[in-house]
C-alpha cells in the first residue's frame, strides 16, 4: 500500500503572476513509513498535500494511490458548518465506508466536546473544530495519513492522548508530515523531503533533510 507521485507539476496563475509549486515531482510514500515534508512558508506544502488528497488536480503527471489516503489532518475546511459534529462524523463514515456507530462513539469520546458534539459546527471555537477534525481522522484507519501542521488543542493530558494515538496509527500506516517543529519531525519521521521552488529533494535520513531545510531558512 502506498502513494506514488510520478512527474507531477502544478502552477497557479493569479492576476498575471504565476507560482510553480510542483515542477516534475516524483515521490513514493510507502505504508509504514513517515516522511517529513519540509519547506519555507509559501513553497506549496499544503497545496501538495491537497493534490495527493484529490482536492487539487495537478497540471500534469500522475498521483497513484494503492490503499486509503486521509484528508489533510489538521484541516477542518471540509466540515459542513450547519451540521453538528456528530452529523459530520456520520457523513465521513459513509464516505469512507467505516462503521458509523464505531466512528461516532470514538469521536464523541476522544474529542471531549460533551453536548457540543450535537450542536452545529459553526458554533464551535477553533479549538473545538481542531479536536473534532483530529478525532475524525484518527477514528478512521488510513494506509497513509497526510498531516498539515496538526497541533493537539487542549490541556497537557489531551495533548499526550493525541500524540499517543497518532504514534499508534503510524505503527502500521505511512505519513507525509508537515511541521515547523523539527523536534516533532525527528520524533515522528524516518525520512524527509524538502520542497523549494517547485523541486523536491528526498532524503532517507531525516536529519539530512532538516539540515538542507535549515540552510534554506538561514538557520546556522
Length of the chain in terms of residues written:
220
- What is the arithmetic mean of pLDDT over 45-74? 91
* Whole-model pTM over 0.75: yes
The answer to whether residue 150 scores a pLDDT higher than 80 is no
Mean pLDDT of the chain: 91
- Proportion of the chain above pLDDT 90, given as a percent: 69
Whether 152 shows a pLDDT value over 60: the answer reads: no
* Predicted confidence (pLDDT) at residue 144 exceeds the cutoff of 60: yes
Task: Report pLDDT for 75.
Answer: 65
Output the DSSP codes for 115-130.
GGGGSBGGGS-HHHHH
Q: Which residues are CB-contacts of 114 (< 8 A; sequence separation ≥ 6)?
A: none
Q: Give the list of residues 6+ apart from residue 193 with CB closer than 8 angstroms, or none.
A: 27, 35, 36, 37, 38, 200, 201, 202, 203, 209
Residue 219 in this model has a pLDDT that exceeds 80: no
Higher per-residue confidence, 28 vs 158: 28
Q: What is the pLDDT of residue 76?
A: 63
DSSP assignment letter at 84: B
In this predicted structure, what is the pLDDT of residue 218? 83
Task: Decide: residue 190, CB within 10 A, 0-12 exposed, 13-18 middle, 19+ buried.
Answer: middle
Q: Say if CB 188 and CB 177 are below 8 A apart.
A: yes
CA-to-CA distance for 158 and 91, rounded, in angstroms? 25
pLDDT above 60 for 88: yes
Pair type for strands 191-196 and 199-203: antiparallel
The pLDDT value recorded for residue 32 is: 84
| pLDDT computed for residue 153 by the predictor | 61
Question: Binning pLDDT at 50, 70 and 90, where does residue 7 land?
Answer: very high
What's the average model confidence in pLDDT over 31-58? 92
Mean pLDDT of 60-68: 93
Above 70 in pLDDT, residue 86? Answer: yes
Classify residue 88 by burial, with Cβ atoms within 10 Å: 0-12, 13-18, 19+: buried
Instruction: Indicate if the pLDDT at residue 220 is higher than 70.
Output: no
What is the mean predicted confidence (pLDDT) over 141-165?
81
In this structure, how many other beta carbons lie within 10 angstroms of the beta carbon of residue 80? 12
C-alpha separations of 159 from 31, 111, 163, 219 in Å: 25, 11, 6, 28
Q: Is the predicted pLDDT of residue 84 greater than 80, yes or no?
A: yes
What mean pLDDT comes out for the span 167-195? 92
Amino acid at each position: 500500500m502506498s502513494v506514488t507521485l510520478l512527474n507531477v507539476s502544478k502552477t497557479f496563475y493569479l492576476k498575471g503572476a504565476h507560482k510553480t509549486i510542483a515542477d516534475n515531482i516524483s515521490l513514493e510514500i510507502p505504508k509504514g513509513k513517515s516522511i517529513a515534508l519540509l519547506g519555507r512558508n509559501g513553497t506549496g506544502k499544503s497545496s501538495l498535500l491537497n493534490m495527493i488528497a484529490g482536492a487539487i488536480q495537478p497540471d500534469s503527471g500522475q498521483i497513484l494511490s494503492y490503499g486509503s489516503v486521509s484528508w489533510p489532518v489538521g484541516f477542518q475546511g471540509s466540515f459542513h458548518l450547519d451540521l453538528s459534529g456528530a452529523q459530520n462524523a456520520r457523513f465521513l463514515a459513509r464516505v469512507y465506508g467505516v462503521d458509523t456507530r464505531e466512528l461516532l462513539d470514538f469521536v464523541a469520546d476522544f474529542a471531549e466536546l460533551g453536548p457540543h458534539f450535537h450542536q452545529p459546527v459553526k458554533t464551535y471555537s477553533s479549538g473545538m473544530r481542531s479536536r473534532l477534525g483530529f478525532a475524525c481522522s484518527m477514528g478512521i484507519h488510513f494506509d497513509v495519513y497526510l498531516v498539515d501542521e496538526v497541533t493537539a488543542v487542549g490541556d497537557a493530558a489531551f495533548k499526550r492522548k493525541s500524540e499517543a494515538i497518532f504514534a499508534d496509527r503510524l505503527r502500521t500506516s505511512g505519513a507525509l508530515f508537515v511541521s515547523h517543529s523539527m523536534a516533532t519531525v525527528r520524533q515522528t519521521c524516518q525520512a524527509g523531503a524538502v520542497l523549494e521552488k517547485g523541486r523536491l529533494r528526498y532524503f532517507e535520513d531525516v536529519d539530512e533533510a532538516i539540515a538542507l531545510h535549515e540552510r534554506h531558512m538561514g538557520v546556522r
